[in-house]
């Protein structure tokens, strides 16, 4: 399967400011790639470069099999929802989509058909004749996603599509993102700073920090790869706490302390496997183990460890 997006050493500078540096990654056809990063990590700049809005200072990339030097060809094959996209307040949703369909070479009749079909798809059919100025933020985002689909794109870039939406609106938009990948077979690059969105929606993740890729892979791979300190909780009977602490003190790579709650121990682990050693020591000492839980293997921990946001 050929890659839908391939970036090799892409760099973007604004004067002395390096916005994106040495961007190397690929995304396969039909996958949803989450791009995570704190504010100012370079997510929007990376998208603007890949969508040919800004020229890279260095490096090369291909989108939908088209080299970056053919920007108009790339733009014909992609759909983009820019961050904080503006909308013409005096146009109706249908007029807006018809105009953009015409810009992609559709005939008048074709543009009308595409606009109506997409408005139904994003559940704006009943408001197709209303002025955009009367749309809520969620409706505008859905309209923006519809606009990104007017040309049947092979790759869709969505920059913070759920920003400012309430939970119901977020859920609707994420549902659309999944349908774009599942039903249309398009590759989706989803930029966000919401970890839950990535864990819920994306097949792979790319973490950017200060313009550089600090991790990429599946969500579980990235979570495991993070050098985040692991921790766990072990629950024993309250009268066994002292014995459990003694047993754990002898285990290499495990530091245990008593939690505020009765019978609960918090263990800090040098590595994930140390949890097995800790549990083994408790069992070996004949202490009844009520429960154990490993923490620190979540995407959020990886993100915080890699971006220094902890």
Partner 1 sequence: MLVVAGQELRDLWLGGRGLVLSFAFSLLMSLIAYLVATNRALNFLEHRETVNLALQVAIAVGALLALLAAADTVSGERERGTLESLLLTPVSRLAIAAGKLLAALSLWLGAFVIAIPYIWFLGRGVGLVRDALGIGVVVGTLLAVFLASFGFLISVFASSNRVSLSLSLLVLLALFVPTQLPTAAQQGWAGDLLLRANPITAGEHYVGKIVTDGHAWSQDASWLVSPLVAAVVFAAAALLVGARFTRLRGGATA
Tokens 């807006």, residue located: 96
Kindly state the smallest distance separating residue 60's Cβ from partner 1, in Å.
Answer: 17
Q: CA 40, CA 50: separation in Å to the nearest integer? A: 17
Residue (102 or 193) nearer to partner 1, CB: 102
Q: CA 45, CA 22: separation in Å to the nearest integer? A: 13
Q: CA 257, CA 268: separation in Å to the nearest integer? A: 9
Residue (85 or 304) nearer to partner 1, CB: 85
Residue (48 or 204) nearer to partner 1, CB: 48
Q: CA 5, CA 26: separation in Å to the nearest integer? A: 5
Q: Which residues here bind partner 1, judged by CB under 8 A?
A: 14-15, 48, 51, 53-55, 72-73, 75-76, 78, 80, 82, 84-88, 90-91, 99-100, 102-105, 147
Kindly state the smallest distance separating residue 119's Cβ from partner 1, in Å.
Answer: 17
Q: Which 3 state secondary structure label does DSSP give 300? A: helix
Residue (71 or 220) nearer to partner 1, CB: 71
Mention every residue, 6+ apart, whose C-beta is less than 8 A from residue 181: 30, 31, 32, 187, 188
Q: Which 3 state secondary structure label does DSSP give 244? A: helix
Kindly state the smallest distance separating residue 198's Cβ from partner 1, in Å.
Answer: 24
Kindly state the smallest distance separating residue 92's Cβ from partner 1, in Å.
Answer: 12
Residue (86 or 167) nearer to partner 1, CB: 86
Q: Which 3 state secondary structure label does DSSP give 226? A: coil
Q: Which 3 state secondary structure label does DSSP give 290? A: strand
Kindly state the smallest distance separating residue 103's Cβ from partner 1, in Å.
Answer: 4
């Amino acid at each position: 399967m050929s890659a839908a997006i391939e970036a090799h050493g892409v760099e973007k500078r604004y004067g002395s400011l390096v916005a994106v540096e040495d961007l190397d990654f690929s995304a396969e056809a039909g996958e949803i790639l989450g791009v995570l990063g704190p504010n100012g990590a370079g997510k929007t700049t990376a998208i603007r470069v890949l969508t040919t809005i800004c020229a890279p200072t260095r490096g090369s990339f291909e989108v939908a099999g088209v080299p970056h030097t053919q920007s108009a060809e790339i733009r014909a094959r992609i759909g983009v929802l820019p961050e904080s996209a503006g909308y013409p307040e005096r146009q109706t949703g249908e007029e807006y989509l018809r105009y953009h369909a015409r810009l992609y070479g559709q005939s008048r009749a074709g543009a009308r058909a595409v606009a109506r079909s997409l408005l139904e798809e994003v559940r704006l059919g009943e408001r197709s004749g209303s002025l955009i100025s009367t749309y809520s933020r969620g409706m505008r985002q859905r309209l923006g996603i519809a606009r990104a689909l007017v040309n049947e794109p092979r790759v869709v870039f969505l920059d913070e599509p759920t920003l400012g939406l309430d939970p119901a609106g977020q859920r609707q938009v994420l549902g659309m993102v999944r349908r774009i990948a599942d039903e249309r077979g398009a590759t989706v690059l989803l930029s966000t700073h919401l970890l839950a969105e990535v864990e819920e929606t994306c097949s792979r993740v790319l973490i950017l920090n200060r313009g550089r890729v600090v991790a990429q892979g599946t969500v579980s791979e990235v979570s495991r790869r993070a050098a985040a300190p692991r921790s766990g909780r072990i629950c024993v009977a309250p009268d066994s706490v002292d014995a459990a602490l003694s047993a754990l003190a002898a285990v290499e790579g495990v530091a245990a302390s008593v939690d505020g709650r009765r019978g609960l121990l918090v263990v800090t682990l040098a590595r994930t496997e140390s949890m097995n050693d800790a549990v083994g020591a408790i069992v070996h000492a004949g202490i009844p183990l009520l429960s154990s839980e490993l923490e620190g293997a979540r995407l959020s921990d990886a993100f915080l460890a890699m971006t220094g946001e902890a």
